[in-house]
């Protein structure tokens, strides 16, 4: 399967701006218009034609996807739009000579969403939907060129590491990526369990500088995601700069030289020290799998697996299989293996809210892929709509309404509407199974922990006679299975732990020694990481910890945006160092402390502070160490560059 998707992804273009008009009037083009998402078709037509009157015709009919009664656009208006777009696409000179004005683009956005898009979002949207790519740093006249010999070391060749490689190359820096695995991809190389996929929509979960027209599903399979990242690495010629099968073990700051001495261990066990002026750690929070604390787990004599370290040689056909956990990985794995096993016991440790995929069976049709490949601006406007409804459009759900009852299972009227939608899905799927309804309905607010996406496969799996959902906690594991706290013993051939990752231990086994022999482990311990703006810590100059404390977009999709913007921020900091002819920077202690206070103050206003909210976002003391408590647009703006008053240059 991996080879299949790798071949497909290889045909995708990193730059879709090469799409040109006119197109040939063909069955493929007409199929694309027939299958195209209608709001995106409207945006594409107005972008190409400047025909603002068509927006006026659609205004009375476009509604929010959460509105009732649901949106109904007259068939004759849809056909008129498609005919007009076909004319523009196939007639020489029919499109506008110039790009739409900012004012028209702004109105298009608001009409297409049936809500006003505030001015503050426009710079982010122009950047992230790919309509106005940023100018490469090497070409910027306001920037001092990167000095020769200033080396940046990047840890990890996952999404953030690859983004760092692309942007450091554009900036003209000497750079290198160190990757512990034999291939790029990070999470999407390591996780290979059956059904592995991504909850974030495909056409947004990609780089703004490398839009992909070849997604097979609206939410990518793991192999699909890996193929995309592999193509990015190849298209941007990153591989010659990556050391594979190499583990970073220690960073030690040399105060005299103002460089990091980076100790790495190669696959053959040999040690090397790399000297770097700055380090961008792109290791991520989901690279350290977490086993459950179950007495006797190692005594189980059957096959014992973790979803993050899947062994494809183990045949599950006809086996009695137990799955511990009902989170995102389990929800993908369970329907993927249910048809093969003789008995499937799912051990639910906590409940999760489950939402149906609005994309139905989730497959991208050939017509839509044709539109993405060939119709100018279609891919960008499709990405815009996904951003709004999968990202900051969801932010009101995670804000606490101070007037809302504290004992409610929701935090606001908006959040309650979403809860009712999720409850309705449970009621629909288990209308004849009140026992499953009770087991699967959470008592905490929607969005207070990660939501599960159901592509129409997960919930129905529990209706199969050989699938058993167990709520009773596991007392212990034995050689032949598990014993529950009510005394029941369940015999198993295979035990799968879908128990996630040790996200709180953000350093893993990495040792970091800063100024004066200060150890970052002493600052963070194993579960209490804190950083200025989620990336920097006083005493550890030129060390940028991406996907760090309180930088995760837990209200929405958007890790791709976080990765891009953290890389942008790190390079802006490095550019500033070199423009001032200094060697390093670090945040001041007052700035660091003020940031912690700012985060904690805002967190009190968020859903994650609800008394029933508990998830891997929290450490054992219930402090949310992971979530970014503001919008993605706020993160995008903060990452424009460093607040110079918050830093000390060395």
DSSP letter assigned to residue 117: P
Q: How far apart are CA 629 and CA 553, in angstroms?
A: 8
pLDDT, residue 4, reads 28
Q: Within 13 Å, how many C-alpha atoms sit on residue 131's CB side?
A: 24
Q: What is the pTM of this model?
A: 0.94
pLDDT for the residue numbered 139: 86
Say what the pLDDT of residue 174 is: 97
Beta strands in 429-535 (DSSP E): 452-454, 467-470, 474-477, 481-484, 489-491, 494-497, 511-513
Can you give the residue ranges of every domain in the chain? 2-135+366-392, 146-288+503-644, 297-359+394-497
pLDDT at 466: 98
Which of 482, 444, 534, 1 has the alpha carbon at shortest distance from 216?
1
Cβ 200 vs Cβ 557: under 8 Å: yes
Please state, as a whole number, how many other Cβ atoms lie within 10 Å of the Cβ of residue 611. 9
The sheet that has 278-281: what strands, in order across it? 242-243, 174-178, 151-155, 278-281, 543-545
- Quick check: 262 and 543 in contact, CB under 8 A? no
CATH 3.30.110.40 fits 146-288+503-644, yes or no: no
What's phi and psi for 649, nearest 5 deg? -90, 135
Q: Which fold has domain 297-359+394-497?
A: FAD/NAD(P)-binding domain (3.50.50)
Positions in the chain short of pLDDT 50: 1-15
Helices and strands of the chain, counted as H and E runs:
20, 21
| 567: enclosing H helix or E strand | helix 559-579
User: Whole-angstrom Cα distance, residue 261 to residue 539?
Assistant: 15
Distance (Å, rounded) from C-alpha 522 to C-alpha 184? 31
pLDDT for position 16? 60
Question: What's residue 85's pLDDT?
Answer: 98
537: which residues sit within 8 A by CB, 6+ positions away?
Answer: 514, 520, 523, 530, 531, 543, 545, 586, 587, 592
The whole-number pLDDT of residue 141 equals 86
Q: How far apart are CA 39 and CA 44, in angstroms?
A: 9
Asked if the domains 146-288+503-644 and 297-359+394-497 are classified in one and the same CATH topology, the answer is yes
Say if CB 541 and CB 585 are below 8 A apart: yes
């Amino acid at each position: 399967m991996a080879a299949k998707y790798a071949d497909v992804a290889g045909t995708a273009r990193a730059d879709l701006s090469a799409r040109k008009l006119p197109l040939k009037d063909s069955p493929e083009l007409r199929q694309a218009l027939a299958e195209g998402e209608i709001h995106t078709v409207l945006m594409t037509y107005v972008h190409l034609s400047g025909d603002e009157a068509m927006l006026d015709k659609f205004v009375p009919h476009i509604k929010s996807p959460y509105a009732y009664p649901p949106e109904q656009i007259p068939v004759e208006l849809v056909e008129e739009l498609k005919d007009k777009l076909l004319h523009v696409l196939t007639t020489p000179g029919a499109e506008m000579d110039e790009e739409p004005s900012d004012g028209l683009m702004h109105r298009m956005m608001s009409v297409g969403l049936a809500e006003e898009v505030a001015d503050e979002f426009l710079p982010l949207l122009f950047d992230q939907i790919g309509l106005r790519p940023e100018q490469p740093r090497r070409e910027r006249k306001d920037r001092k060129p990167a000095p020769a010999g200033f080396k940046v070391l990047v840890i990890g060749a996952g999404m953030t590491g690859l983004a760092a490689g692309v942007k450091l190359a554009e900036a003209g820096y000497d750079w290198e990526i160190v990757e512990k695995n034999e291939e790029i991809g990070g999470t999407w190389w390591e996780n290979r369990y059956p059904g592995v996929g991504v909850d974030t929509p495909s056409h947004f979960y990609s780089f703004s500088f490398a839009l992909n027209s070849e997604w097979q599903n609206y939410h990518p399979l793991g192999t699909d995601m890996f193929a995309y990242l592999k193509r990015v690495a190849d298209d941007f010629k990153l591989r010659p700069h990556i050391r594979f099968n190499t583990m970073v073990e220690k960073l030690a700051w040399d105060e005299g030289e103002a460089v990091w001495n980076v100790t790495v261990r190669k696959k053959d066990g040999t040690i090397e020290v790399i000297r770097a002026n700055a380090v961008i750690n792109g290791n991520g929070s989901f690279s350290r799998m977490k086993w459950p604390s179950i007495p006797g787990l190692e005594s189980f004599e059957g096959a014992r697996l973790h979803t993050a370290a899947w062994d494809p040689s183990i045949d599950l056909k006809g086996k009695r299989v137990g799955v511990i956990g009902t989170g995102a990985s389990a929800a993908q794995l369970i329907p993927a293996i249910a048809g093969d096993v003789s008995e499937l016991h799912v051990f639910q440790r906590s409940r999760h809210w489950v939402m149906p995929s609005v994309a139905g069976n989730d497959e991208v049709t050939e017509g839509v892929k044709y539109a993405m490949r060939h119709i100018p601006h279609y891919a960008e406007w499709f990405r815009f709509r996904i951003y709004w409804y999968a990202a900051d459009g969801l932010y009101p759900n995670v804000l606490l309404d101070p007037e809302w009852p504290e004992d409610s299972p929701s935090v606001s009227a908006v959040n309650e509407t979403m809860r009712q939608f999720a409850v309705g899905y449970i009621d629909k799927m288990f209308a004849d199974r009140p026992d499953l309804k009770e087991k699967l309905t959470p008592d905490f607010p929607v969005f207070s922990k990660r939501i599960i996406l159901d592509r129409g496969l997960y919930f129905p799996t529990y209706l199969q006679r050989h699938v058993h959902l167990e709520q009773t906690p596991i007392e212990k594991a034995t050689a032949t299975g598990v014993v529950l706290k009510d005394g029941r013993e369940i015999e198993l051939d295979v035990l799968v732990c879908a128990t996630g990752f040790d996200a709180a231990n953000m350093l893993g086994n990495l040792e970091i020694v800063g100024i004066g022999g200060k150890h970052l482990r002493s600052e963070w311990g194993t579960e209490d990481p804190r950083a200025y703006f989620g990336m920097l810590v006083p005493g550890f100059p030129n060390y940028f910890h991406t996907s760090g404390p309180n930088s995760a977009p837990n209200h929405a999709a958007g890790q791709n945006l976080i990765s891009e913007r953290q890389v942008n921020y790190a390079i802006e900091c490095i550019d500033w160092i070199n423009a001032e002819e200094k060697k390093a920077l670090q945040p001041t202690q007052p700035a660091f402390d003020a940031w912690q206070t700012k985060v904690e103050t805002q967190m009190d206003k968020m859903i994650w502070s609800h008394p029933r909210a508990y998830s891997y976002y929290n450490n054992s003391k219930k402090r949310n160490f992971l979530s970014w408590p503001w919008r993605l647009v706020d993160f995008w703006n903060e990452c424009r560059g460093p607040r110079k008053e918050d830093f000390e240059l060395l």
